[in-house]
Amino acid sequence: MTGDARGVFYLAALIVIWGGNYTWVKLALADIGPLTFNTARYALAAALMAAVFGARGGIARLLPAPGERAPLAMIGLLQIAVTTACTALALERIDATRVVLIIYSMPIWSLAFGALLHRERPSPRTLFGVALGCAGLATLTNPAAMEGWGGAASGFLLAFASVLGWALGAVLYRARSWRSDLWSQTFWQIAVSVLALAPITFMFERAAPIDVTPSLVALLLYNAVVPSVIGYWCWAQALARLPVTQASQVLLLSPVYGVAQNHLVLGEPLTASVFAACAFIIAGAFLSLSGRGR
């Protein structure tokens, strides 16, 4: 298997791992609060990484290089704590299909933050992509296309907060070169996110009931290991073999997989508005990425 083929293989795994995880989080929230779930999954992930590296005598590798810890902590709070906490809260309020489509409009919002913070000048191709993405979001959040808009409004706002956190974190990450390796960056961002989420979880969900079912235990373990650790490993392996723009474009198939899985597992409807929004958002994100890569 060639390097490019291996890169595509890792991206295919990520499409399933990241694109499909919204389904599993939605199922887990039937037994546990959203903040408690995220705090527990990342605490388990951090403990697992510390145990693995400690057993290999390399626990020191988990600390980023001096001078990089504060910026990586800020990026971790945006991309992990804010993004996943708001995503889980949104999944309590609206269906997973709409959440996954909003989240994968991220390239559009990262373009906006790049222009605002770093004066990046978008190409006409990129601007057309932004227009398509906005059309998809407008279709997705159209009150006439869904029932119970009043109760869903907070879910949409949380989903938008989630994608804005991810996009801003990505722009800040791209703005510099890092000496720390991927594993120390990942562990540090997860550990900082746990420290930030723990007191908030205690404040708002300390009295929330937890039904410790076999499915909840399995979903917690899965989230601690697969999306949080193996997912980042696959992403690093893909980026070692493919340009970041090309890899990001392939990863845009994640919401397609996620929407299909939500329909099959959760029974969420595939309406004309969902199909239209999916097409607009993915096309817009693709054009945004390809325009940036020129």
Q: What is the pLDDT of residue 294?
A: 45
CA–CA distance from 187 to each of 160, 173, 179, 195, 231 (Å)?
26, 15, 15, 12, 13
More confident residue, 4 or 101: 101
Q: What is the pLDDT of residue 145?
A: 55
Query: What is the domain range of residue 62?
Result: 3-292
Express each pLDDT in 228-243 by its tens digit.
888 888 887 887 787 7
- Does residue 74 have a pLDDT over 50? yes
Express each pLDDT in 182-227 by its tens digit.
888 889 999 999 999 999 999 999 999 999 999 999 999 999 999 9
More confident residue, 290 or 13: 13
The total number of structural domains in the chain stands at: 1
- pLDDT over 90, % of the chain: 44
Q: What is the pLDDT of residue 287?
A: 79
CB 174 within 8 A of CB 76: no
Q: What is the pLDDT of residue 27?
A: 96
Q: What is the pLDDT of residue 175?
A: 83
- pLDDT over 70, % of the chain: 92
Question: What is this structure's pTM?
Answer: 0.86
- Does residue 150 have a pLDDT over 60? no
Please give the mean pLDDT across all residues of the chain.
86
d(CA 11, CA 250): 7
Lowest mean pLDDT among 70-74, 169-173, 251-255, 286-290: 286-290
DSSP of 191-245, one letter per residue? HHHHHHHHHHHHHHHTTS-----HHHHHHHHHHHHIIIIIHHHHHHHHHTTS-HH
